[in-house]
Amino acid sequence: MKVTGFVLFGVLVLIYLHLVKEIWRLVAETKQLGSATRFNRFWWTPAWRLHRAAFPSSVLRRSIVHRFIAITGLGIICFFLIVWADIHSLGWLGW
């Protein structure tokens, strides 16, 4: 179980890196709109709002939301797999 948790954690890191790349792409697309609103790669929530107004049905934003959900779900699963393996191996539950 512990190995599975660490493998899933590696997958989680890859999903996160792809998410960062997509956020940078969202910021680049929004900068092309020429808005006076200030944002950058690290403060990208204003870019999200502008992008939502300019592109109402964006596949990019949907992908970002799905990756956030996947990161949260996989993170919870990884945490419980690793913690369960540690608890079980140390005999904390009396097994």
Write the Ramachandran bin of 43: left for phi over 0, alpha for psi from -120 to 50, otherwise beta: beta
Tokens of 50: 């502008």
pTM, entire model? 0.79
pLDDT value at 46 more than 90: no
Q: Say what the pLDDT of residue 71 is.
A: 94
Contact 75, 16 (CB under 8 A): no
Read off the pLDDT of each residue in 16-25 and give the average, rounded to a whole number: 94
pLDDT value at 7 more than 80: yes
Which residue is it, tokens 């890191």?
13
pLDDT value at 1 more than 80: no
Report the C-alpha gap between 45 and 60 in whole angstroms.
14
